[in-house]
Structure formats: C-alpha cells, structure tokens
Structure 1
Amino acid sequence: MRVIDNEADEPLTINILPMIDVIFAILAFFIISTLFLTRAEGFSVDLPDAESSESQQEAFITVTIEANGDISIEKEPVALDDLTETVQERVGDSSEALVTVQADETIDYGQVIAVMDKLRMVEGASLGMATQQPAPAETSPAETSQ
C-alpha cells in the first residue's frame, strides 16, 4: 500500500537558535563559576573583637599604631621611614621572626597598609595582625537551670 503525500517537501535545515541559547547558558555558567574560584592574595586579617581569632606563638616584635597615627616598636616611637631598618636591626640574623601589628580599630586603613608594606621588606619576618577575643557571654539564669 502506498501513502500519497500531498505536502511539498521542505529542505531539511538545522535550527541553530536553541543551540546558541544553550552555548550562551554554558558560557555564563563558566564565567560566573570562575569568579568564585579566584582567591584574594594578601593577609588573612581578623578585625578587633573577632570571635574566630586564635592564639599564636609569642610575638618577637610588636609594632603598634595608635589612634592618633603614632607608630611605635615595643613602646618606643619610630617614624614610618625608619621602620624597615629598625625592625631589621631587631630581627638580626634570625631566620624567622613573627612581627605582630597592633592597630587601633579607628586608624586609617591606608596607614596600616603603609606600615605592613614597610614590614614586608624585612627579610625573615612574617607578619601577624593582633585582635581581641570578645569577652565570654554571660549566661542568663534561664539558660543555667536544669
């Protein structure tokens, strides 16, 4: 039995519009996912009163930046330009020394970066940021009852 087809034969075509949509969706997925894979280089800094701060080894040298912008090493005032040489003298021949930066939380971020930049020039020094752990929360009588 023969089927008679009265419709005109259309040439076969490949509709690429859905394929373009799929390719753009995949491209957008890869672009967005790679944004989350980038890692910010720099110091892992805990801000003052950070609950996640941990105690580290004892600081070899402590650099303090006060609220008025004064810089001191072990409570001795030092100028920003002299900071690298002063710390290098204190580190001496030590192969590894921890330099802790204690900055007032109200100090300008730019000044903290300037101090850290000078300290990075000291060979054998690793930097740390000082934070305070918050006081333990007081428990209310309702929480302590059994």
Structure 2
Amino acid sequence: MRKKHSKGQEDADIDMTPMLDIVFIMLIFFIVTASFLKEAGIDVNRPEGGAPPDSPEDSQNIMILVTAEDEVWMEARQIDVRAVRANVERLKAENPDGAIVVQAERDSSTGVIARILDSLNMAGFRDHVLATSD
C-alpha cells in the first residue's frame, strides 16, 4: 500500500548562511582589489598652520570707507581724497602686517573709488581689497 502524504508535512528550508558567507567574501575581495583613481581637479595649496597673532592690535586692518555721498572716512574721521595716501602710509608704518580694505557703499561714485585706489597704487600698496556694502 501506498502511504498518503499528509498536508501537515514541513516545507523544505534552504539554509542561506553559506550563500551570505560567499557574498561577503566576494564583497571584501572586490573592495580590496579595486583600483582607486585620483580624479582630475584643482590642487589647493593651503597655508601652513602658523601661530595666531599675539594680540588683535597687531592684525588690525586699515579700513577706508566711501559713503554714498562720496565722503571718505578713516579712523572714525572724515578725510579728503587727496589725504588718503598720507594717512595710509602713516597707518602702514605703524602696522605693516595690516591689510588695506576699501569699503564702498553702492551709491558711491566710481571716480572717488578710482582716486583712492590710484593713491594706494602710487604709494606702492598693491595688496588692497575693495568691498561693497548695502
């Protein structure tokens, strides 16, 4: 006689552990053997880390402000455009490491800014920054 198969018989299970082991081994193999290419780009030359300035007075910038009414201000006082060179030379002698920043408001005229920049160039200060403010 034949045996009848009952419906309560368990389904055959597949053990997935060996397959997962093989997948992880292959993953490790591909990571180790992969060649990493250096993409073409811009090389950035970063400055070497130096000591910060000893005091904030040593690194003060020389600020020149040009208002919308074409007034020139330095050290919280209004000066004439023709006096910019003399004032910057004096301040640069006191603080040779300070940068020169010309801050111009949007409505200031280009002629005044050009005269200030020409004065700085004639005095030999070629490392100045021009910034605009709202």
Q: Structure 2 length as normaliser, TM-score?
A: 0.48
Higher relative contact order (CA 8 A, sep 6+): 1
Larger radius of gyration, structure 1 or 2?
2
